Amino acid sequence: MAKAMRIAVIVQQGVFRASLCAALEHFPDIDVFGVPTIPEHSFPVEPDLAIIDLDFQPDNHRELLRRLLTIAPNTKTCIIAFRAVPATVRQCLSLGASGFLLKECTLEELYRAARTVVAGEIAVDPRLAGSLLKGVDAERTVGKNPALSEREIEVIRLIALGLTNRQIANQLKLSEKTIKNHVSHIFRKLKITARTQAAIHAISNNMLRATDRPEIPTPTNPV
């Protein structure tokens, strides 16, 4: 049997924290525990994923993510919040978070996002699409990224939307091998080593288009 995914649920409100932990425990591949905030020194056991509720926390998101990185550098992070402005989403991603969901998401969406983030991908709530992409000018984007070809910009956009290589290949009607080559070229040109970094680059540089809609993909083996 595969190793259970260890999740720390970091929620200030006791009832919500207990309810979320109880709900996640129904998934047989999850080992979950809850704490009200990020501890000062260390977790009892370092989790694979921290789900952080931004609402009612005593510290802002910058301080929370800084502390998490200090005590658990190998832990992935997924943010949940009642609402979020685009700047907060972008800042959380740039500070190391790999997922951002609204609290109106279903338990199944949260579970899929957790699996996606632990696998090294990005998971952004599709309900954030309108505000996150507001004002994006795709035509100006190409000029801002002279190192990337138009096809590579298409690929990095889809990486930022949380798609795997296989899903990108299906959408662009190309072979998976071709997409892997494009991803390798993107990494080399941008001097990065991870898909999360590529997604952050795409979002931070307004490379998404107003017609794009981020998805929380069904978890697959990372490619």
Alpha-carbon distances of 148 from 31, 55, 142, 161, 219, rounded to whole Å:
41, 38, 8, 18, 28
Residue 130's pLDDT is: 55
Domains of the chain, earliest start first: 5-131 (3.40.50.2300), 137-204 (1.10.10.10)
- pLDDT tens-digit readout, 152-174: 999 998 888 778 899 999 999 99
90: amino acid identity, one letter:
R
- pLDDT tens-digit readout, 83-101: 888 788 888 888 889 899 9
How far apart CA 13 and CA 209 sit, in angstroms, is 37
- This prediction has a pTM of 0.68
Residue 217's pLDDT is: 44
* Neighbour count for residue 90 (Cβ, 10 Å): 17
